[in-house]
Amino acid sequence: MCGIVGYTGGQPAQEIVLESLKKLEYRGYDSSGIAMHEGKLVICKKEGPIANMEAELTESKSTLAIAHTRWATHGAPSDVNAHPHSDEEISIAVVHNGTIDNYLEIRESLEAEGHNFRSDSDSEILPLLISKYYSGNLVEAVNKTLDVIRGIFTIAAIHKDNPDEIVAVRNETPLVIGLGNSENFISSDIYAILKYTQEMIYPEDYQIVRVTSDKVEVLDRDLNLLDYNVETVEKYTEVAEKGGFEHYMLKEIFEQPKALQDSLTELLVESPLERLGLNWKIGSMSIVACGTSYHAGLVGKYVIEQLTAIPVSVSYSSEFRYAAPVQGVGGLLSSRPLVILISQSGETADTLAAARAAKQQGCHTIAICNVPGSRITREVDGVIITKSGQEIGVAATKTFMTQMQALYALAVNLAFNSGSLDHPQTKLWESEIRKIPSKVSQVLNNCESIRDLVPHFVKAKSVFFIGRNINYPLALEGALKLKEISYIHAEGYPAGELKHGPLALLSKDTPVVAIAVQDHTYSKLISNIEEISARKAPVITVAQKGDQLVPKISDHFFELPDIDPVLSPFPVAVFLQLLSYYIAHELGTEIDKPRNLAKSVTVE
């Protein structure tokens, strides 16, 4: 959630870290700050956008800096609670992501020793502890601090005695080291520093990293030097500009055909199951994810079960590890269970914890992720990388589409491997998957028809989304999108469940979006729409091309391109994304950075 960047080298550091920090704005934050070495440590931090902090800065020749964007966990957003934090003498400056679980007892102990706290943040104990243990060696002081603190964290520290040294360490939250030419970088996100380097080091938990302009050292807790791997990361197309679109979210919605096309090369390859280590008969499968990724997992459940007959459970990451151990269905299957973990960032704390729990239970783990080199990709047995490029809007769009696409491709390969699909059927499925980008483009080309529906929603206090079978998860996703960016209350339901309570909430002021595709649930869905109309609630239906019945029973409708019902979640998703976007735009909300939300959730 918070963001960290740091630089040491031969160039003015202030400009570099500020530009890098702005690349992390998409993650969400409420304050920002910077610490530099100008003969002494100079710290500037302000509540609000980076521009507030930037306005306070003057030109600096410092070649060392650390900077931070904060999302409040302890203490309200304010100048004093912003990072970096320092000791009383401002000899040490520290930035911190995560939470210190035992900070209250540490704070009481430090106060008893005479230290005065200036903030309400748990992070302020860090510079005070490091200062307490400092005797000329910053690495040793940080190492001793690790003996005291408990929690999840990425910490980066600088000291006034050394204008060319950053010491950093992590535990369960992201840290990446970027290697340059007589300059080096630290960051909590590769996107922040990809402009400057593609050569990355990914430290493990509790490995202490000492970074200077000409050297990177990685040490264990006994302060022994460790060997490390340097990985080259693909440089994504620069996304800092909106390319003529008013918001990043709208730009990313329109990038979906390209994201789907680019991801195909990763998904439809020779022997994908062998590459993923899936060389046994799978008896059971669990999909684990959060938020929008959870909805992609629900779609995947329908497709995988339909094509393979493998039973699939879908769990929220935050609940997965508290449930009974995965032992197949009801503990009756002896084959090794498969757990698929979906995370856009690869750093989602709850999903990472679920991955570790699954591995401890002996499950085979596969991650579907959009960020190569992220934490989850290095902890699982197999990885499917989606090629969406960076997604800046907090509300997930193109990453949702490529996650669904990955699950469809996986389902087809599993079905072929098990004999459920023969070779011609497999090729037919692959051919249909290849058509999805063009189907999505057709919806995008009809965006003005979606915009015309906005007046029916902007005065609503509550909106319902309904669907059946494979489009029930799309009802959930449509409701989530509307809630996220328009702040209108919305709920997604299986269409058949409205009569079990929610019908009581319907009125002429409660619009209902119905997803009606002509599969085996179609006639039941039509009956549900008629139930809603009988309660005078306005019905806006998403229907397949050529549907003759929906226009007669709906107040308004949108026609999808011609597509097989099992592939309908893709064009339906685009309709729902654009509908939510245009409603939010009409209401004037902050679409790319919804209140209270962050793009990457790295705390549990």
Q: What is the pLDDT of residues 402-461, one digit of tens each?
A: 999 999 999 999 999 888 999 999 999 999 999 999 999 999 999 999 999 999 999 999
Distance from C-alpha of 476 to C-alpha of 493, rounded to nearest angstrom: 7
Domain ranges (residues) in the chain:
3-232, 242-434, 445-604
What is the pLDDT, as a whole number, of residue 1? 56
Look at the block and give the residue holding tokens 């709920």. 491
Cβ contacts of residue 39 below 8 Å, gap of 6+? Answer: none
- What are the phi and psi torsion angles at 107 (to 5°)? -60, -45
Find the helix packing angle between 569-587 and 472-486, rounded to 10°.
20
Domain 242-434 has CATH 3.40.50.10490: yes
Q: Give the confidence band of 235 by pLDDT, cuts at 50, 70, 90.
A: low
Superfamily of domain 3-232: Aminohydrolase, N-terminal nucleophile (Ntn) domain (3.60.20.10)
Long-range contacts of 45-48 (CB under 8 A, 24+ apart): 45/79, 45/82, 45/83, 45/84, 46/79, 46/82, 47/77, 47/78, 47/79, 47/82, 48/77
Q: Give the confidence band of 334 by pLDDT, cuts at 50, 70, 90.
A: very low
Around 114, how many Cα atoms within 13 Å sit in the side-chain half-sphere?
A: 2
Paired tokens of 473: 């998860």
Which entry of 387, 439, 483, 599 is annotated as an active-site residue? 599
Residues in the chain: 604
Distance from C-alpha of 18 to C-alpha of 198, rounded to nearest angstrom: 19
More confident residue, 26 or 42: 42
Burial class, 227, CB count within 10 angstroms (exposed 0-12 / middle 13-18 / buried 19+): exposed
Query: Is 599 a known active-site residue?
Result: yes
What is the pLDDT, as a whole number, of residue 4? 96
Q: Residue 164: which of 213, 205, 208 has the closest Cα?
A: 213
Letter for the amino acid at 201?
I
**What are the pLDDT digits (tens) for 124-138?**
999 999 999 999 999
**What are the pLDDT digits (tens) for 69-107?**
997 777 788 999 999 999 999 999 999 998 899 999 999
What is the pLDDT, as a whole number, of residue 270? 61
**Average pLDDT value for the chain:** 90
Share of the chain above pLDDT 70, in %: 94
What is the pLDDT, as a whole number, of residue 599? 55
How far apart, in Å, are the Cα atoms of 4 and each of 14, 18, 167?
Answer: 14, 11, 13
Paired tokens of 244: 């003529």
More confident residue, 407 or 281: 407
Share of the chain above pLDDT 90, in %: 72
Which entry of 2, 363, 369, 447 is annotated as an active-site residue? 2
The fold of 445-604 is Rossmann fold (3.40.50)
Around 549, how many Cα atoms within 13 Å sit in the side-chain half-sphere?
A: 11
Letter for the amino acid at 68?
H
Q: Does pLDDT of 582 surpass 80?
A: yes
What is the pLDDT, as a whole number, of residue 335? 66
Query: Is 447 a known active-site residue?
Result: no
What is the pLDDT, as a whole number, of residue 407? 96
Q: How many CB atoms lie within 10 A of CB 493?
A: 20
Plot region of 346 (φ>0 → left; ψ -120 to 50 → alpha; else → beta): left
Instruction: Tell me whether the CATH fold assigned to 3-232 matches the one assigned to 445-604.
Output: no
